[in-house]
Amino acid sequence: MENTFTIMPMSQQVSLTPGETYTGTITIVNPVDAKGDFHYKMSISPYSVIGQDYTADLKTVTGRNEITNWITIDEPTGVVKPNESKKVTYTIKTPANAAAGGQYAAITVSSNNDIVQNSGVAVNNVFEMASLIYAKVSGDTVREGNILENNIPGFVAVPPIEVSALLENKGNIHESATVVLDVTNFFTGEVIFPKTDETNEFSELVMPETTYLATRNISNLPSLGVVKVKQTIYFNGKSSVEEKNVIICPIWFLLLVIACIGGIIWFVISKIKKHKKHNDLSSM
């Protein structure tokens, strides 16, 4: 039996106070087109990131994911029927001596293979989803961060255009950065992005004591032309504005232009040589 599911929310930001208890929920949804009951199991994993591209790490234990020992799940196993959903409650009991700053965990949901296999039904498509917990423990928090880079390329051969922001968080809690993008046609001034049904404002979450390379692709662009791209970044009380004219030119067109220019130069040189040769013969 093939079965898929979704969970909501995919991430949660919570505020914790040492010595107090926080209660939250995760909703498991078994879609209307599911071919059977979804037997789930839930577990808690430490969450951290690796590298500037923020590769998720659900194994490494650090001082920033001690929260995994504070979380309990009311119903870690259960069943959800097709076209139904179930809210599962979890509780975070923050120790009285918990250090201030960020704490991070992943509450994962997957198929309960033991239940399914015991029922004699084969599962062909089993996967795991995680709801990330971004917690701020109150106390002596440090907020310090910088915008290291605001990058827009000057040339691309084929859309989309990839813009990037390099953000450094030197504090002990996660911080939100806001990136605003505007794209117009260089020659006509026509707004290319955002259209009326789009948003040009994006939020990026930067983990403590890390450097994050946030990238975003700008699509729906002309295959040939010049566009004006403006990227504005707001982070930790600082801002950065970068504006650049980006040339979009396919390699084949660039080679064609080079070939045409080369042909013109060859033609001019040939004419000059021919004219010089004619003058030399005339002077003899």
Report the predicted TM-score, pTM, of the whole model to 2 decimal places.
0.83
Is 121 in the same domain as 153? Answer: no
Compute CA distances 142 → 99, 172, 174, whole Å.
12, 5, 10
Report pLDDT for 120. Answer: 46
Low-confidence ranges of the chain (pLDDT < 70): 1-3, 114-126, 253-254, 257, 275-284
Query: For residue 212, is it within any domain?
Result: yes
Backbone angles phi, psi at 94, to 5 degrees: -80, 125
Report pLDDT for 271. Answer: 74
Amino acid type, 184: T
Query: For residue 88, is it within any domain?
Result: yes
Is 10 in the same domain as 133? Answer: yes
- Of 112, 137, 162, which residue constitutes the final position of a domain? 137
Burial (0-12, 13-18, 19+ Cβ within 10 Å), 102? buried
Is 190 in the same domain as 275? Answer: no
Is 222 in the same domain as 278? Answer: no
- Structure tokens given for 5: 């599911």
Q: Which residues of 227-238 are buried (b: 16+ CB within 10 A; e: fewer)?
A: bbbbbbbebbee
- pLDDT tens digits for range 77-115: 999 999 999 999 999 999 999 999 999 999 999 988 766
Measured over the CA atoms of residue 106, residue 51, residue 154 and residue 251, the dihedral's sign is negative
Report pLDDT for 116. Answer: 52
Query: For residue 1, is it within any domain?
Result: no
Is 210 in the same domain as 278? Answer: no
Is 153 in the same domain as 224? Answer: yes
CATH code for the domain of 97: 2.60.40.10
Q: Which domain holds residue 271?
A: 257-284
Is 23 in the same domain as 124? Answer: yes
Domain count of the chain? 3
Query: For residue 195, is it within any domain?
Result: yes
- pLDDT tens digits for range 209-247: 999 999 999 988 988 999 999 999 999 999 999 999 999
Is 113 in the same domain as 196? Answer: no
Task: Please tell me whether residue 109 adopts helix, strand or coil conformation.
Answer: strand
Report pLDDT for 28. Answer: 96
Is 125 in the same domain as 150? Answer: no
How confident is the prediction for the chain on average, in pLDDT? 90
Report pLDDT for 57. Answer: 96
